Chains A and B, each alone.
Chain A
């Protein structure tokens, strides 16, 4: 399916924002796919890590409409293997931050079943709430 993309100044703003927060030189990504091939969570993602990079390069803000940035566990396989030395996990973090900084919380404590809450170690809870809430 062909999707037409119109690049406007808005795309440039979004691209610059992700670049600034992540600190990554996103433009140098060749989209070779090593990150996608290495990521153990690609199978759960609606768009792959290399497609996240492509959409950010084009300044497409709708990259945040997919589940991928929330599925990234920042395990750093992509980081260790990127031939361009990029850290895709910092890009997904930038995307999460842009969303979270609108007072958005991906998880709410009262939505977690009580028996799960009792069972989960604090390392899991602190980690999840740090990554997934504002």
Chain B
């Protein structure tokens, strides 16, 4: 199955290991990501003001590319646009929702982008990789597992953007289960914990580091108290705040014990038996290799 794929900015730089592990793991279960030609930044955060139409240009322009891919035969009757990054997922999906609900806005946007070869008609469907896996059936994922992760206790960190607002969530906003089902499918052990969808502080990490440090401390220590060995995420911003910021958390809370935070696709690639060039654990800030060793999992 070929599916249009939107990487977004960070997956081409600091989260390259997220992209690599996802693309290779997907191939193993018969999904080929076809990267959008000429994609542009989605803007990261969803425009929220009613009169701010301008900032929907970037997300919607990417949706025109999906129509063009279908026109040019790069994919066949595939209007789904797959995302890995939670922020991209949210921003693209919210813009898509808006132009489907407010047809006048769509007219304004098409008029603004009159130099594009095609108009956008609202027909693209934004999906997250986890949704695609669920739709295919997590059994298909389970079938490809060659390395057991059964001793690994994994806390799924949903964060905000996969679940809220409800209209765009990939699962129930209060009691989500999709991520845990994925963890079970790759043979690891999902832990139940309280802070799975608590905000990590998001972009406040730029000008309000203190807030992010406190939120991160709460989230990470809750995962540890719930028995987690490792945390998985699908958001490069959450990954930065929960992984890289552990150095700042340690400064403020000296008793804090580090815990690895990795992308869910890295564990998927590990379970599928890919080598370290694909699993990319070197790309995470907190070392996870020691943990895998202690659990007799060869990396």
Q: Give Cα A22 to B9, complex, Å.
A: 28
Are B207 and A71 in contact (CB-based, < 8 A)? no
Is A80 a contact of B206 with CB atoms below 8 Å? no
- Which stretch of B45-53, B70-78, B223-231 is in the interface? B45-53
Contacts of B37 in A (CB 8 A): none
**Given the interface contacts A93-B49, A121-B10, does A127 sit within 8 Å of B202 by beta carbon?**
yes
Contact A76 to B160, CB < 8 A, known contacts A127-B237, A130-B44: yes
Contact B203 A76 (CB under 8 A): no
Residues of A101-134 whose CB lies within 8 A of B: 106-107, 112, 116, 119-132
**Shortest beta-carbon distance, B168 to chain A, in Å?**
9
Cross-chain contact B237 with A121 (CB below 8 angstroms): yes
Residue of A nearest to B244 (CB): A119
Contact of A40 among B174, B203, B209, B215 (CB under 8 A): B215
Residues of B within 8 A of A126 (CB): 9, 41, 43-44
Decide yes or no whether A79 CB sits under 8 A from chain B: yes
**CB of A51 within 8 Å of the partner chain:** no
Residue of B nearest to A109 (CB): B206
Asked if A47 is an interface residue, CB under 8 A from chain B, the answer is no
Which chain B residue lies CB-closest to A19? Answer: B50
Interface string of B188-227 (1 = CB under 8 A from A): 0000000000110111111111010011000000000000
List, in ascending order, chain A residues with CB within 8 A of B14's CB. 121-122
| Cβ of B55 under 8 Å from chain A | yes
Cα distance, A123 to B206, chains bound together (Å): 10
A74 touching B237, Cβ below 8 Å: no
Q: Does B109 contact A (CB under 8 A)?
A: no
B160 touches A123 (CB 8 A): no
Q: Is the CB of B87 within 8 A of A127?
A: yes
- Min CB–CB distance B217 → chain A (angstroms): 12
Task: Please give the number of chain A residues whose Cβ is less than 8 angstroms from any Cβ of chain B in the complex.
Answer: 40
Using known A-B contacts A73-B199, A123-B9, A127-B87, determine if residue A80 contacts B174 with beta carbons closer than 8 Å. yes
Residue from B43, B50, B87 in contact with A23 in the complex, judged by beta carbons closer than 8 Å: B50
Chain A hits for B292, CB < 8 A: none
Task: Select A41's contact among B45, B55, B199, beta carbons within 8 Å.
Answer: B199
Partner of A123, one of B208, B237, B244: B237
Q: Say if the beta carbon of B173 comes within 8 Å of chain A.
A: yes
Closest chain A CB from B270 CB (angstroms): 23
A97 nearest CB across to chain B (Å): 5
Query: What separation, in Å, do the CA atoms of A94 and B49 have in the docked complex?
Result: 6
Contacts of B8 in A (CB 8 A): 123
- The answer to whether the Cβ of B4 comes within 8 Å of any Cβ in the partner chain is no
Contact of A127 among B44, B164, B165 (CB under 8 A): B44
Q: B51, A21: Cβ atoms under 8 Å?
A: yes
Complex: A5 Cα to B204 Cα, angstroms: 33
Tell me which residues across on chain A come within 8 A of B174, comparing CB atoms: 80
User: How far apart sit A93 and B51, CA to CA, in the bound complex (Å)?
Assistant: 12
With A80-B173, A106-B207 as given contacts, are A74 and B10 in contact (CB-CB < 8 Å)?
no
A55 vs B209: C-alpha distance when bound (angstroms): 28
Not counting A97-B49, A128-B203, a sample of 18 additional A-B residue pairs whose C-beta atoms are within 8 angstroms of each other reads A21-B49, A40-B198, A44-B214, A71-B208, A71-B211, A73-B199, A75-B164, A76-B164, A79-B166, A87-B165, A94-B49, A112-B207, A121-B13, A123-B9, A124-B205, A126-B44, A127-B206, A128-B206
Shortest 6 CB-CB contacts between residues of A and residues of B: A127-B203, A75-B199, A76-B164, A128-B206, A93-B48, A127-B44
